[in-house]
Amino acid sequence: MRGDATTGAVHSDVHSSVHSTVDSPVGTTPAGVDDTVPETAAARRSRGPGPLVRHCGPLPLLAVGLLCTLGAFAVDAWWQAAGALAVQALCLPLVVADVRVAARRLLPLGIAALSVGWSTVLAGDSPEPLWTALAAALRLVVLVLPGSLLLGWIDPAEAGDHLAQRLRLPARVVVAAVVALGRLDSLADSWEQVAAARRVRGFGPGRGPVSRLRWAASTSFGLLVDAVRRAGRVSVAMDARGFAGATAARRSWALPAPWRRADTVLLVVGALVAAVPLLLRLAFPAA
């Protein structure tokens, strides 16, 4: 059967930009179908002024985060970590749009770094415990900082478009992953809905800690049941749109996945930043 089969909105609660056409000839538009290409997430972000990542797609963001993670494994001294962290700090204007949002996002990282450093001082057997603790804490920051800031700019639906069109990943896997990420984003709303429904029915939490713990456990079970039901509906919707077969038919995607100049710039800068720990280690091997 010829015609367009929309795969992005596999569920009414999941807002995805992924669309597909099953067995449709390339370059043709069925009658009655609006062939206007919707605006991509990157285009919406690029309207106003902002950092470089505002104009980038998801693939360079993922690549830079992975490269910086791999580069952090070359850190074995505190001064290497400090040098790499200084370079990352110089690149923050390319990534950070709101300082307060970035600070809230990095607060757990700061607490974790202090915890690692403190535990290293207390439990370590190094002859120089303070320097060893500083190296461990800074290594953690160098490892996590880029990914923490970059992943916040990735739109799941846009990432699905790029993974399927740029990397040629299977459409069934990509759409399933996009739907799962969309459901993960809406877990907080689902929790509020389940909790509100239980309060209306007279099952609200009591004042004691035991009562609150029981209420949280029962609400979590209700959230699990709701997630299983939604997963079943999503599975049926994907089956109806031709994703059940082991060999998917040729599909087209409603939204483009362009590679912009900003993507290349970010990828080059990210590769240089990721190489800083290794370059310092090679330049000063005996330090």
- Give the pLDDT of the chain (287 residues) as one tens digit per residue: 333 333 343 343 333 433 443 344 444 444 554 555 556 555 666 666 678 888 899 999 999 999 999 999 998 889 999 999 999 999 999 999 889 999 999 999 999 999 999 998 888 777 788 888 999 999 999 999 999 999 889 888 888 889 988 998 888 888 888 888 888 777 888 888 888 888 888 877 777 788 888 888 888 888 888 888 888 888 888 888 777 665 555 677 778 888 999 999 999 999 999 999 999 988 887 66
pLDDT for 22 equals 38
pLDDT for 6 equals 36
The bridge status of strand 4-5 relative to strand 20-21 is antiparallel
The amino acid at residue 148 is S
Q: How many C-beta neighbours within 10 Å does residue 276 have?
A: 22
pLDDT for 2 equals 35
pLDDT for 249 equals 57
> What one-character DSSP code corresponds to residue 41?
H
Distance from C-alpha of 10 to C-alpha of 20, rounded to nearest angstrom: 11
**Residues 6 or more apart whose Cβ sits within 8 Å of residue 138:** 75, 78, 81, 82, 85, 113
Q: What pLDDT, in 10s, does the model give residues 169-226? A: 888 888 888 888 888 777 888 888 888 888 888 877 777 788 888 888 888 888 888 8
pLDDT for 245 equals 64
pLDDT for 157 equals 86
Can you name the residues that pair with 11 across neighbouring β-strands?
Answer: 14
* Predicted structure pTM score: 0.72
DSSP 202-252: T----SSHHHHHHHHHHHHHHHHHHHHHHHHHHHHHHHHTT-SSSSPPP--
Q: How many C-beta neighbours within 10 Å does residue 142 have?
A: 29
Distance from C-alpha of 211 to C-alpha of 66, rounded to nearest angstrom: 44
